[in-house]
């Protein structure tokens, strides 16, 4: 539903600015600045499933604030699979190094 609304707004206004939101101060400042300057903003949070509980609480607060002020709610996407895949690749490479495989010989 949110994505469809963003597409509709894009068709009407010509652009949508997608901002990656982590729940930290820098991405929040970037989001606030974009909204303040009148950008059509779609905030996206890639959830690794390994965030501190305070991050989720803050994102809920920020999401409510955005909704009350006529902005799109935060789109939360599951980024955990990509993180787990990268962690497995690193684990395998560390095992290779421990077994004597040189960097240039990695598969």
Q: What is the pLDDT of residues 46-100, one digit of tens each?
A: 888 888 999 999 999 999 999 998 888 898 888 777 677 777 887 887 888 787 7
Query: 26-42: b or e for each residue (b if 16 or more CB lie within 10 Å)?
Result: ebbebbeebbeeeebbb
Q: How many other β-carbons are positioned within 10 Å of the β-carbon of residue 43? A: 25
Strands (E), the chain: 17-20, 41-47, 75-78
- Is it the case that residue 10 has pLDDT exceeding 70? no
**Taking a C-beta distance cutoff of 8 angstroms, is the pair 27, 21 a contact?**
yes
Phi, psi dihedral angles at 75 (to 5 degrees): -85, 120
Q: Does the pTM of the predicted model rise above 0.85?
A: no
């Amino acid at each position: 539903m949110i994505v469809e609304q963003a597409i509709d707004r894009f068709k009407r206004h010509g652009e949508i600015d997608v901002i990656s939101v982590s729940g930290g101060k820098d991405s929040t400042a970037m989001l606030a600045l974009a909204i303040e300057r009148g950008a059509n903003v779609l905030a996206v949070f890639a959830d690794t499933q390994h965030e501190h509980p305070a991050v989720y609480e803050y994102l809920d607060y920020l999401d409510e604030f955005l909704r009350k002020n006529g902005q799109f709610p935060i789109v939360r996407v599951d980024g955990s699979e990509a993180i787990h895949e990268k962690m497995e690749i690193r684990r395998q490479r560390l095992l290779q190094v421990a077994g004597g495989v040189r960097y240039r010989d990695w598969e």
